[in-house]
Amino acid sequence: MPDKKDITTKSNTTVSPIMDDILNSAGEGINYDTNELQIPFIRAIQALSPQIKKSDPQYIDGASQGDLFNTVTGEFWTGEEGVVVIPCYQETKYLEFVPRDQGGGFVGEIEVDSPVLSQTTRDRSVEILPSGNQLVKSDQHYCMVLNDDGSAQPAIIDMKSSALKISRRWKTQIAMFKIQDKDGNFKQPALFATKWRIKTVEESNELGTWYNLNVEKVDLVDSKALFDEAKSFRSSVMKGEAKAVSENQDEAPF
């Protein structure tokens, strides 16, 4: 029986007898409006996640608690092995959720200058809006996810609630990352010139047990093509051409 990792990382692309024609027409007809395209999220599978319920349409065969998965393609990676990403851009958002005990569900984003953000009350580790819904701060990291075949795909690593501490640590590590030029001077490489591995680790508090994210430094990007692709993706996000899709928001975690 193949390893779970093999199930998801092997390419599904076959070698076509008309490969030359396919390559010569690369990209033709794929001129979709970028506002209609979903940037997938990479998330950790939890105990109650639909991805491990066989009766659910979102079920992913072979996936387990603690694994990471792509919300659009259904591809997954084991939590122990993780996935390597190139961070390209980061923004902080404030999200509103209906509490789980009231049915749960994503309500929408709250503007950063909204006065309601200063009107919350705290219930243990949860911020409560005047409406009774939960306020969740989310650091969204726009990244290029690296595939085993050397290609990459855009995705968002969103770190909220208990994962905010991981996000702060990651940003600190990025800021501390220095390289030396030929004259011996230390410089900070561009955000999109660095590679990091995202894994999961089990955590718990008074509300329960769940899988949180963990970040490890890998190295510098070593491919000009990947560097240019990551830089281009960053530019698209900054121009508003690529953005997170609200429907991909999930339940507020612990």
Q: pLDDT tens for residues 183-237?
A: 999 999 999 999 999 999 999 887 789 999 999 999 999 999 999 999 999 999 9
What type of residue is 195?
K
pLDDT band at 7 (very low <50, low <70, confident <90, very high): very low
Domain ranges of the chain: 34-92+140-244
Sign, CA dihedral 83-88-90-96, equals negative
- The average pLDDT across 148-160 equals 92
Q: Which residue has the higher pLDDT, 49 or 241?
A: 49
Which parts of 112-230 are beta strand (E)?
A: 121-123, 126-128, 134-146, 152-160, 179-180, 186-187, 194-205, 208-220
pLDDT band at 10 (very low <50, low <70, confident <90, very high): very low
- Per DSSP, the three-state class of 50 is helix
pLDDT value at position 124? 75
- Check whether 34 has a pLDDT greater than 60: no
Give the tens place of pLDDT for each residue, 124-143: 778 899 999 999 999 999 99
Distance separating alpha carbons of residues 54 and 64, to the nearest angstrom: 12
Q: At 44, list the tokens.
A: 């950790």
pLDDT value at position 36? 52
In 3D space, the residue among 159, 157, 162, 107 whose CA is nearest the CA of residue 132 turns out to be 107
- The average pLDDT across 15-33 equals 70
Which parts of 18-133 are beta strand (E)?
A: 42-44, 68-70, 76-77, 83-97, 106-110, 121-123, 126-128
Report DSSP state, residue 36: G
Total number of residues shown for the chain: 254
pLDDT value at position 239? 87
- Check whether 249 has a pLDDT greater than 60: no
Could you tell me which residues come within 8 angstroms of residue 167 by beta carbon, excluding any fewer than 6 positions away? 139, 141, 159
- Check whether 106 has a pLDDT greater than 50: yes
pLDDT value at position 35? 55
Could you tell me which residues come within 8 angstroms of residue 67 by beta carbon, excluding any fewer than 6 positions away? 4, 44, 45, 76, 77, 78, 79, 200
Query: Which percentage of the chain shows pLDDT scores above 70?
Result: 86
Mean pLDDT, rounded, of the chain? 86
Which DSSP helix (H) or strand (E) runs through 236? helix 224-238
pTM over 0.75: yes
pLDDT value at position 204? 87
- The average pLDDT across 57-65 equals 95
pLDDT band at 102 (very low <50, low <70, confident <90, very high): confident
pLDDT band at 79 (very low <50, low <70, confident <90, very high): very high
Q: Which residues pair with 140 in a beta bridge?
A: 91, 158
- Per DSSP, the three-state class of 184 is coil
What type of residue is 211?
Y
- The average pLDDT across 61-83 equals 95
